[in-house]
Amino acid sequence: MTSAIPIDLSTWPRRQHFEHYRSVVPCTYAITVELDATVFVETLRASARKSYVAQVWALATAVNQHDAFRMCLTTDGAPATWPVVHPSFTVFNPELETFASIWAPYDTSFATFHDTAAALLAEHRTATEMFPQGPPPQNSFDVSSLPWTSFTGFTLAVQQGFDHLAPIITLGRYVEREGKVLLPVALQVHHAAADGFHAARLLGTVQELVDDPTWVD
């Protein structure tokens, strides 16, 4: 695993913001949006690629493009940034009605990532352990999916979560409205790591990826 790179506090424009939301007013926030996934869904319907894996790759690609969402804390509590982060995502066991959390190494090639992630989903769909691969790497972020329901709001209340700077992303069921296919996406953010501007930009990057899904094949 690559090492996190400490942030130079002497030149970091968000130093005061980090210190405020880390120590003075520790807080997280959540934002839920409906992404226009119309073209994305049409492309996947004509492809052999798995929709869930494509969703996870798009999220991981966007997260890896923005430093604010690759942040972590060093052992002394200082901010640092991972060079790359890997998605940890859920797979449902329909027989037991439980889920497992698995992870796949991020790759800029969707085809490479797809083959790895799809195999892991197939392997662990009957897992009885929550973490069948063992603990996920430190440089990972969480994705979960609720394909059974759509939503317009979703918030996690994470006890002792103020040391967790990685984003947490939750996906809902597609919903059709006014000729469009919409994908609910909830983003949980630590305010020390990112402001609303950064959250909006991240979600905008995801929207760009699903608007032009030529990477699917």
Positions annotated as catalytic residues are: 191
What is the chain written as a DSSP string? -PPPEEP-TTT-TTHHHHHIIIIIS--EEEEEEEEE-HHHHHHHHTSSS-HHHHHHHHHHHHHHT-GGGSEEE-TTS-EEE-S--EEEEEEEETTTTEEEEEE----S-HHHHHHHHHHHHHHHTT--SS-TT-SPPSSEEEEEEETT---S------TT-TT--S-EEEEE--EEETTEEEEEEEEEEETTT--HHHHHHHHHHHHHHHHSGGGG-
